[in-house]
Amino acid sequence: MDASGLPLLDRRIADCRACPRLVSWREEVARTKRAAFADWTYWGRPVPGFGPADARLLIVGLAPAAHGGNRTGRMFTGDRSGSVLYEALYDVGLASRPTAVDAQDGLELHGVRVTSPVHCAPPANKPTPEERDTCRPWLVQELRLLRPTLRAVVVLGGFGWQAALPAFAEAGWSVPRPRPAFSHGARFPLDGLELFGCFHVSQRNTFTGRLTPAMLRDVLRTAGQAAGLPTRGGQSADSSPGA
């Protein structure tokens, strides 16, 4: 397997119907819509990863948002969490523009790919452990395809961390036992990779200040540098990892 297989993998992910609850929810949201997006034709399918096939840095989230990725068909696109993430990636030099509106807006990521352990929008943003495990083979295949170039990974939040470590093990990386614990600012060597933890870019974290703009940029910049990517900006005084 090599990175040329990612487009095929993405198409297969978009056709998945393995989890009945998620299929029902994502399609119901696509039919009923949100009033602000009444004129949209929602994607309403699993959302594949986004970014180049030779990415050196991978960002792992949680799952698409009902009126974000489930609407636009692209990871972290069309919602406030995505706005926070892509603005930060732009500020540190890893994205071509600071906004993500729709899948045809011209946004390009520089050496970065964004994915999630669950590819369907879940009710209340909470996939079940069974849904997480059912979706894991997609992440395992994506990791195998990225392995030739991948050098660093940022995992957003504890759910993503718990989902990602078993996927790395299944994809052939040597994951230590006991497994490293998640925390914001965590950094662990993982069999040729640098693994970073970061609080999720959810509104709950960004609105309360648990994750500040400076904290997010510091993690992304450090991870980009660990991956050998050119970044811009320096260390911020507001980089405390928080609680």
**Given this model, what pLDDT does residue 4 score?**
60
Q: Which helix or strand (DSSP H or E) is residue 197 part of?
A: strand 193-198
Query: Could you read off the pLDDT of 187-201 as tens digits, one per residue?
Result: 999 999 999 999 999
Contacts 24+ apart (CB under 8 A), 129-133: 130/19, 131/19, 131/21, 131/22, 132/159, 132/162, 132/163
211 neighbors 242 (Cβ within 8 angstroms): yes
Token look-up 């950094």 returns 187
Handedness of CA 28, 72, 132, 84 (dihedral sign): negative
Rounded to two decimals, what is the model's pTM? Answer: 0.93
Alpha-carbon radius of gyration of the chain: 17
Proportion of the chain above pLDDT 70, given as a percent: 94
Query: Could you read off the pLDDT of 122-131 as tens digits, one per residue?
Result: 999 999 999 9
23 neighbors 17 (Cβ within 8 angstroms): yes
pLDDT band at 239 (very low <50, low <70, confident <90, very high): very low
pLDDT band at 234 (very low <50, low <70, confident <90, very high): low
